[in-house]
Structure 1
């Protein structure tokens, strides 16, 4: 069993606290993604787990065993880095075999593990080539193979796809997911790319400034964000976040969006300060009676993606950006993902419509307000 546990783990560099106190339990055989913007502490947590950095406080356990006092070699973890970290003078075979040499394994055992890893990763024809002769995707496979041959308790992957082009990232991402399911090895995967996180992770832990914002399945994080940060970080484009005007008007509490007052059939929570709408929940107004929230604006830009179009509409609302330095209004446009045949043109005035049950609500502190809250 190779559960991983962080218990109140802290890390301080000089006078800067990077991890103020982190708790997480990773299940045996799980692929858990640490997701967050640059500088949020996700790679630091991986290095603490690997033993490359000492923790300032707290405890780390692998398979129930405390590893804080153990060096990297005694923790039985294998790490795949962003820059591959291959030995340029060694062949693929030599790179795969190197960690086994360090363990002084018998030659027959080394050959067995190398050939098995090469077979799993499709490297058999490349064993006698050097890294300079390989493509980026092949180098990444070699880096993964070097981790596999160690037969570790835990795989650690630190943004392993960052140096690949878009098409290769999709391909290698699928290979990593299939490989992890096949091997069943507990895996922690670090990325700032929410698409990678959503497609790879059994669960995803969203971090900000060393603090976990939410932990859950990709589907749960997407549909039930705990706060404005998670809501605005997940999704491409991310959730539209507003600081609308809210008043008591005839018929109930109303909110002002896109230059008009709307009285949602589902009502507005008493503590509501911010509202959110996913781009796919917005469409061009067709006059349908079940669309009880409408907002009007000028089309700023259109992205044609083949099967869909992303339309950016300047509605004049106080759009909220919760990511860089906290909650605050910006002059951003509202994004709508359209799947029909109509394609508005930049400069055209359009009305977007949605159902009130598609609205997300957040309080003064940016915390989500659940139904009935």
Structure 2
């Protein structure tokens, strides 16, 4: 291991050093004799082991090791031995990705390690319409190595309000084929499989998951009504994280299921739109909510997902997929749905799904 300082600025103020990597944070260190500043300078040059650093500074190796551990705890270091391993073309292709990942790297994982995790990843994308037509380009830009796309629809003129994968010449074409062609044209290194099919039930999804072995499932399918429960069951049974986004009138939601860790979709209180789930509610507020939802679902479904709405939900969903694939930070929406209020300045909030120990899908995990 050869610890190397990240792109950090520092200055001396009397007997103290001020270090800044992110302008919202700063680290103040006492350094009356300049030893810490010398260490920082050597770490900035990189290429030295802890023993070599100690030798140049005439310090005990244990003391230098402790200082390196303290800097690493502040996420100010990377292991130089884990850097510079990408091919020059890949380093250029993922330049911005690597700069972003630098903020979340450390001695245990470099920015290049996080990028390699993406290149080795496989995402199953259910639906290539409004939501995922915005998620797919983000995944391609990040450098996800393989995608399996599933959709059953054709491109229609009404899609152009929010689905930018498609062109006028694509009208009447099968969406999944055109979406796959877009990915291949964007980055030929990404392996893409297109599946032109509907989703018939959890067994079909389970068979698909077993065949392709995805690392994450990103779903944007709205029909049939129980589709989320089907995807949830297949993913939880096979231990595959599941990311979902959608819109209801003026409210957008993004959530995920981390099997064995978070509550799953089947843990959520029953669907207020389904009369069979609440035969005789005693809570007046709940009864009122159920009545409102029953009225709402009795109306014809209208897709209100304009471009900025689909783009915002697709970006939040892609970020959650990124968390699962790289581990740069823990999943943010696992059992904690993010709600976006498009009628009030896109204000966001989060609620907690209580985990049901008796859940028929995840209760025994």
Bigger fraction of residues in strand:
1
TM-score normalised according to structure 1 size? 0.21
TM-score normalised according to structure 2 size? 0.21
Higher relative CO (CA 8 A, sep ≥ 6), structure 1 or 2? 1
Bigger fraction of residues in helix:
2
